[in-house]
Amino acid sequence: MGRKTLKCCDITIADLNRKVLVQDLVQTTTLTGFTESWVNVVSVWAKIKNMSGTELVHADQLGATAYSDFTIRYRTGLTEKMKIVYRGIDYQIRHINNVEEADQFLVIKAERGVSQ
């Protein structure tokens, strides 16, 4: 059997029931050089689907990475340099998919990592 693909008609506005924040890393010039800080770009409603996770040991530290899909209404200006914050947890954006190139919904693939 083939893999089911997400289509615009499979998504409804009612599915977007979690509030997430999109942030961008902004560089500001100071008297002593520059500083970087995360700045709020937009707060949007999203559907969240947790995908998978991995664990690995590197330099005697346990690292865990989890992947999630965030589906939001279509908007321009988002990039892979940004991050999503949900319930105080940062998710680095890895890929942005315009579903069926229909300019209705975006599926944002993001990851969060934890080192222990």
- Going residue by residue through the chain (116 aa), what tens digit of pLDDT does each one get? 445 556 666 888 899 999 999 999 999 988 888 899 999 999 999 999 988 755 444 445 556 788 999 999 999 999 999 999 999 999 999 999 999 999 999 999 999 975 43
In this structure, the dihedral spanned by the alpha carbons of residues 26, 87, 19 and 78, taken in order and rounded to 10 degrees, is: 30
**Could you give the CA distance from residue 78 to residue 59 in angstroms, rounded to a whole number?**
34
- The domain of 60 spans 8-115
Give domain status of residue 3, yes or no: no
The set of residues, in sequence order, having a beta carbon less than 8 Å from that of 30 and lying 6+ positions away, is: none
pTM for this structure?
0.79
**pLDDT confidence of residue 57:** 47
Q: What is the CATH number of the domain that holds 83?
A: 2.40.10.270
Residue 68: inside a domain = yes
Backbone angles phi, psi at 29, to 5 degrees: -80, 135
